[in-house]
Amino acid sequence: MIFRILNAFLLLSIAVHAFYLPGVAPTSYQPGDAVELFVNHITPTVPYDSHDEKRYLYSYDYYNPKFHFCEPEGGRKRQSESLGSVIFGDRIYNSPFHLEMLKNTTCNILCTSKVPQKDTEFFSKAIRTGFQYNWLIDGLPVARNMEDSKTETTYYSSGFALGLVDEDNVAHPYNNFNLFVEYHLREDGNYRVVGVTVYPESLGYKSESEPKCDSPELEPVTFNAEGETKITYTYSVYWIPSDTVWATRWDKYLHVYDPKIQWFSLLNFGFIVIVLSTILFNLLYHQLNKEIIKHNEINLDDDGIDDLGWKMVSGDVFRSPSNPMLLSVLLGSGAQLVLMAVVTCGFALLGLISPSNRGSLSTMVFVLYALFGFVGSFVSGTVYKFFDGQDWRVNMILTPILVPGLIFAAFILLNFSLIFVKSSGAVPIGTMLTIVAIWFVVSLPLSCLGSIFALRRKRIEPSCKVNQIARQIPHQPWCLRLPFLSLAAGIFPFGSIAIEMYFVYKSLWFSRIYYMFGFLFFCFLLMLATTLLVTLLVTYLILSNENYKWQWGSFIVGGGISFYVFVHAILLSKFQIRDLASIILYVGYSLLLSLGVGLMCGTVGFLGSMAFVLTIYKRIKTD
């Protein structure tokens, strides 16, 4: 899903941009060699000059018949893509553009397209709502040259708008594309592409056969209110020498948005973790030490024993919780997700995931999740055995099927929304079958192996014997009940990732390249650390009030962050979405993401509490 301590790690994050995976080899050219331009899907983005407040969150195929774009003479050909690339909606085809290395050309005619009246409304709406082109040259996105006003730096923003919207909210499609291709001359005489930018224009040519791209008198193309609209598409290519070497060509694209606020968030919650750690150390080390020593020194028959709080429930604290099977299965899946996220972010942080290899990040997420099925089942089986569970075969079956099955079912349902609106992001049935095949061939056998290892492993023995008759739990004040505790505890870990979640969501929904894995990695670690500390404190408070049902309590308290992640996505987001399919997609995937984060944090909270409970009850004397 993984991912420089302070300044040192910031420098490392800049350095790793130059690192590429083995196999992502550069392409060298000679003067006159053909350089292919591929077209990808039409994706939504945040419109800059739009008066239309609607937002759409699904993409369209570039050759969608309603756009009537120019097609290559030999017909369109689909390019091979990775599993992750397909899942995230990439649909890459060849194009009618002809580029030759070092050959400057101007006003080349692609074709004259005729857009029927029934499709002009669709096309103009796509322009007003911010849909954009996504082209590729030598693996690099064709980008706009942008300036970050906050950092006063320039960068390349991948993709560019379908057209412009004037002051009267009239849409004009871009039909002339000025491509500026940067190249680097190597010592061996070969040329390499190191950057591509575009300056699009909307030009209403008076002559379709001999368009004049440099004419200052041309008005923008306007869709006809009645009848079809003829659009003549042209392009120019300019080759620009550059000192940028191939290994660092992605530096211009990998822009860190608003680094000051991210550093502030990281340092702020790093300080909170230090404060929490200090408080807990003082409480759990000094206070507990005094309580344990005092307890062990007194006579257990002393009347003062009633005031000993958490020590009173030593005979019930290791009692099996309600529905131990479900809890152990959820914990196994949570451990699987945590490992997947940490390793993925770590690989991305170290530069082992190349942006040239489209879909590599999402492919790695899927593969690692399948491989860590072994760990998930091992954790699930170990915890279930600790709960004195007997149906280990059911545990073996449910762990690799329950949570992944629910995720896959939700994925299929959401995919129907994409199919309904004829989006290119709809995952084909062949890809679905491939995912299922990989799951059954790779993940299930590994999961079974993990369950067998857990079964053969010696059971983690409770520190105290369990009484035959359960102790009655005294009335709990409202402030120590699970709903309040989970909401109160979830605020702290959510604060550590709130800022980063905003940038992640913009990247996911509006086609921005996300490469701030240094911030993401450490925010993720802060989230887990804060969850652990807060859950330990809450577990101590629960036990001190003689409530021995800490198992589900620690899991739910640790997972309380999911509520805030979901609310942040739905209510506090600046994305204004009105299209029904987009709302379904946004709410559905936001819910899946929030539940996934809650599952990870809940698992960390439980495992930490389990180690805490085993440790403190091992040190006290019991009957």
Q: Rounded CA gap, 318 and 388, in Å?
A: 10
C-alpha separations of 84 from 434, 553, 599 in Å? 12, 36, 23
Helix (H, G, I), strand (E, B), or coil: what is residue 466?
Answer: coil
Distance (Å, rounded) from C-alpha 138 to C-alpha 37? 8
Predicted local distance difference test score (pLDDT) of residue 546: 87
Helix axes 482-509, 580-618, angle to 10 degrees: 130
Four-CA torsion 71, 72, 74, 80, nearest 10 degrees: -100
Question: How much of the chain, in percent, has pLDDT values that exceed 90?
Answer: 43
**13 vs 438, higher pLDDT:** 438
Q: Under the phi-then-psi rule, with left for phi > 0, alpha for psi from -120 to 50, and beta for the rest, what region is 33?
A: beta
User: Which pLDDT tens digit goes with each residue over 161-219?
Assistant: 999 998 888 899 999 999 999 999 998 889 999 999 999 999 988 877 777 887 777 88
Q: What is the band of 46 on the pLDDT scale with cuts at 50, 70, 90?
A: low
The more confidently predicted of residues 395 and 81 is 395
Q: Kindly state the average pLDDT of the residues 406-412.
A: 93
d(CA 73, CA 608): 63
User: How far is 1 from 400, CA to CA, in rounded Å?
Assistant: 18
Q: What secondary structure does DSSP assign to 377-429, as a single string?
A: HHHHHHHHHHTT---HHHHHHHTTTHHHHHHHHHHHHHHHHHHHTT-TTSPPH
Using CB atoms within 10 A of its CB, is residue 86 exposed (0-12), middle (13-18) or buried (19+)? buried
pLDDT in tens, 273-284: 787 777 777 777
For residue 455, which of 555, 353, 385 has the smallest C-alpha distance? 385
Which residues contact residue 594 at a Cβ distance below 8 angstroms, ignoring those fewer than 6 apart? 562, 563, 565, 566, 569
pLDDT band at 412 (very low <50, low <70, confident <90, very high): very high
Amino acid at 149: S
| The pairing of beta strand 176-185 with beta strand 229-241 | parallel
Helices (H), 22-116: 83-87
Report d(CA 383, CA 324) in Å as an integer.
Answer: 9
Residue 334 is encoded by which pair of tokens? 């949570």
Q: How many CB atoms lie within 10 A of CB 514?
A: 18
Per-residue pLDDT of 467-494, as tens digits, reads 888 888 888 888 888 889 999 999 888 9
Q: What's the pLDDT at 298?
A: 65
Q: Which of 161-165, 291-295, 377-381, 608-612 has the lowest mean pLDDT?
A: 291-295
Is the pLDDT at 354 greater than 70, yes or no?
no
Q: What is the pLDDT of residues 500-550, one digit of tens each?
A: 787 788 777 766 777 677 778 888 888 998 899 899 989 988 988 888 999
Query: Among 2-11, 273-282, 425-434, where is mean pLDDT lowest?
Result: 2-11
Q: With cut-offs at 50, 70 and 90, classify the pLDDT of residue 247.
A: confident
Q: To which residue do tokens 């049902």 refer?
A: 549
Which amino acid, residue 307?
A: D
Higher-pLDDT residue of 17 and 172 is 172
The pLDDT-based confidence of 23 (bands split at 50, 70, 90) is very low
Mean pLDDT, rounded, for 136-152: 84
Most confident of 42-46, 464-468, 524-528, 598-602: 598-602
Instruction: Give the pLDDT confidence score for residue 22 in this predicted structure.
Output: 36
Which pLDDT belongs to residue 51? Answer: 44
Query: Which among 123, 108, 117 has a CA at the least distance from the CA of 69?
Result: 123
Instruction: Return the DSSP state at 372.
Output: T
* Residues of the chain by 3-state class (helix, strand, coil), percent to 5: 50, 15, 35
